[in-house]
Amino acid sequence: MIDGIRTNLASVNAGYKEEEKKAMIRKNKDIQEVTNQNKAAQIKESIENRDYKIDLQKTSEKMALDLLNL
């Protein structure tokens, strides 16, 4: 009887932890989405103000690495 209760308690605890993990993942996705929206808004504003600067060195390095599949 006690083993049955322990088993049931363990499965309930595992289910709770799984739900907690899913909630944390949803929260992180929401935070990332807001962050991306804010970044996009900042870039858009910089472009409109003609303040947006492109780092040619960083861009060319990224393009070269991408072309080389690195």
Domain boundaries in the chain?
3-66
Q: Model confidence at 11, in pLDDT bands (50, 70, 90)?
A: confident
User: Residue 27: is its pLDDT beyond 60?
Assistant: yes
Please tell me the predicted confidence (pLDDT) of residue 7: 67
* Long-range CB contacts (within 8 A, 24+) of 14-17: none
0.75 cut: is pTM over it?
no
Chain mean pLDDT for the chain:
88
| Structural contact between residues 18 and 9, judged by C-beta atoms closer than 8 angstroms | no
Express as a percent the part of the chain with pLDDT over 70.
84
Q: Can you tell me the distance from the alpha carbon of 35 to that of 29, in angstroms, rounded to the nearest whole number?
A: 10
In this predicted model, which residue has the larger pLDDT, 36 or 10? 36
Residue at 65: amino acid letter: L
| Structural contact between residues 52 and 43, judged by C-beta atoms closer than 8 angstroms | yes
